[in-house]
């Protein structure tokens, strides 16, 4: 995988440190919610971030996964997200935190936020590991952001290209020749 990456944008040590401070921000925000949270991770991109983040969160939580597909195998967004797996678990009257890998155009998150709002949670917030600048509509709310990055296609730490590189431990930019 190293050979396929042109440059590392975020090193694993940087990532670990930020996930810890981000978890502290999230924990502080939910300190008064005694019934705990329902985390809604968006598969599959969020899995590594999810695993690191929730082990730094001290409160009780349930996990209710959803799976969507926006651009299967390609690096440009094509149309509306498609639901591959419905929300597994009840979020009604629960404090819900959506967890996703990256906010790009915001289509994925808007879709999931609307789906959850219809189910009447007690509250709804969103945490993303990465955010690209300027492409998401200004009214799309994310409450917690790990890193703001340049508008580049990145892989690793859960993010894929053609379903590969999710296990790459850093956030890297793929070599241009590998992109379509």
Residue 22 binding target from ligand IMP, Mg ion, none, CB below 5 to 8 Å by type: none
Catalytic choice (4, 52, 104, 151): 104
Contact predicate 49/135, CB 8 Å: no
Does residue 155 contact residue 167 with C-beta atoms inside 8 Å?
Answer: no
67 binding ligand IMP? (CB under 6 A): no
Residues from 17 through 76 that contact Mg ion (CB under 5 A): 45
Task: Decide: is 172 part of the binding site for Mg ion (CB under 5 A).
Answer: no
User: Rounded CA gap, 69 and 75, in Å?
Assistant: 12
52 classed as catalytic: no
Q: Does 45 bind ligand IMP (CB under 6 A)?
A: yes
3-state secondary structure of 22: helix
Contact with ligand IMP (CB under 6 A): which of 94, 95, 107, 131? 107
Q: Is 154 in the site for ligand IMP (CB under 6 A)?
A: yes
Please state, in angstroms and rounded to a whole number, the distance separating the CA atoms of residues 161 and 31.
37
How far is it, in rounded angstroms, from Cα 37 to Cα 61?
Answer: 5
Query: For the chain, how big is the Rg over CA atoms in Å?
Result: 16
Binding flag, residue 103, ligand IMP (CB under 6 A): yes
Q: Assess contact for 112 and 142: CB atoms under 8 A.
A: no
We find the least distance from the C-beta atom of residue 91 to ligand IMP, in angstroms, to be 19
- To the nearest whole angstrom, how small is the minimum distance from the Cβ of residue 179 to ligand IMP? 11
CB 170 within 8 A of CB 12: yes
For ligand IMP, which stretch binds (CB under 6 A), given 15-23, 33-41, 51-59, 97-105? Answer: 97-105
CB of 93 to ligand IMP, least distance (A): 27
So which residues are the catalytic ones?
104
């Amino acid at each position: 995988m190293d050979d396929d990456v042109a440059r590392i944008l975020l090193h694993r040590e940087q990532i670990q440190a930020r996930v810890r401070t981000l978890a502290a921000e999230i924990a502080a925000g939910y300190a008064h919610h005694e019934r705990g949270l329902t985390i809604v991770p968006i598969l599959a991109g969020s899995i590594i971030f999810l695993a690191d983040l929730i082990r730094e969160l001290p409160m009780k939580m349930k996990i209710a996964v959803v799976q969507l597909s926006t651009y299967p195998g390609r690096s440009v967004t094509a149309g509306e997200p498609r639901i591959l797996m419905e929300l597994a678990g009840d979020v009604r009257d629960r404090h819900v935190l959506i967890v996703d890998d990256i906010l790009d155009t915001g289509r994925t998150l808007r879709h999931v936020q609307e789906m959850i709002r219809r189910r009447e949670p007690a509250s709804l917030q969103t945490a993303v590991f990465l955010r690209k600048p300027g492409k998401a509509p200004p009214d799309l709310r994310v409450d917690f952001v790990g890193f703001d990055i340049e508008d580049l296609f990145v892989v690793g730490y859960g993010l894929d290209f053609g379903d590969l590189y999710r296990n790459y431990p850093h956030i890297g930019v793929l070599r241009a020749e590998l992109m379509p």
